[in-house]
Amino acid sequence: MHRKLLLTAALAAGTLALALVGCTSKTDDHYEGKVKANPPSSMSPGATAATDGKNLRRVTPRDTGGKRPVTLVTPDGKNPRVVIKTSLGSILVELLPGKAPITVKNFLRYVNDKFYDNTIFHRVMANFMIQGGGFTTDRQKKPTRAPIKNEADNKLSNTRYTLAMARTSAVNSATAQFFINVKNNQRLDHKGPGRQFGYCVFARVVGGKDVVEKIRNTPTRREGSLTHLPEKPVVILQVRRLK
């Protein structure tokens, strides 16, 4: 079976236990390392106003290719941006290298390699997050680069419309898969060592939030160990860095 990146949510007595974890198993949905969490905060993230995802398609992306060096800032000193073009529209994302330089560099390497092209959002939980970037359209897990250091202690919070790295129960195990928080999930923030280390936020959605909502509300089904797979595939057609 494929090595999975999974999310577990258990609600009991007002306390939510959550984990973005990985496993290697011959049975479906084995979860490891639950992280105790506090009830969600009502605080909303500070973000720019939503932009119609259809308009983002007119932005001309830069095709960097896998051999070009990864730069963490634009020529004018601003944070880099990427467009995630999906089968439901485009999402404009601002990366935050000042807070998560290792994670942003890793993400941009995958972007440069066109790794995310024709992958899917394979785990959609309407009251939690949408996760993708690791499986092909025929639900095959893609091989990745080596794991990176977890920068979840960067004081960025898993608020609505932020992007964070998915990982296994091991703290420093994130590779390519990412998720977009569709609600305030501060329970996933860094709180200490080990299982409380948290999930690294490295970017935020600044346009195409309507597209995020479309994906969030996509009906899902179970297929093997994929427990929240969209009934109709939500394909990441391409991810490109903007000039």
Query: Scanning the structure block, which residue is given the tokens 């001309």?
Result: 60
Question: Which pLDDT tens digit goes with each residue over 179-235?
Answer: 999 999 999 999 999 999 999 999 999 999 999 999 999 999 999 999 999 999 999
Task: Report domain extents, the chain.
Answer: 41-242
Q: How far apart are CA 192 and CA 18, in angstroms?
A: 15
Beta bridge partners of residue 84, listed in sequence order:
91, 239
pLDDT tens-place string over residues 15-33: 333 335 333 333 222 222 2
pLDDT at 74: 82
Q: Do 88 and 120 meet the contact criterion of CB atoms below 8 Å apart?
A: no
Q: What is the mean pLDDT of residues 95-114?
A: 98
Spatial contact of 96 and 107, defined as CB atoms under 8 Å apart: no
**pLDDT at residue 130 in the model:** 98
What does the pLDDT look like over 122-169, one tens digit per residue? 999 999 999 999 999 999 999 999 999 999 999 999 999 999 999 999
The DSSP annotation for 68-129 comes to SPP-SS-TTSPPPEEEEEETTEEEEEEE-TTT-HHHHHHHHHHHHTTTTTTEEEEEEETTTE
Superfamily of domain 41-242: Cyclophilin-like (2.40.100.10)
Tell me the average pLDDT across 233-238.
Answer: 98
Question: Model confidence at 68, in pLDDT bands (50, 70, 90)?
Answer: low
How far, in Å, CA of 123 to CA of 238, rounded? Answer: 18
The pLDDT of residue 69: 78
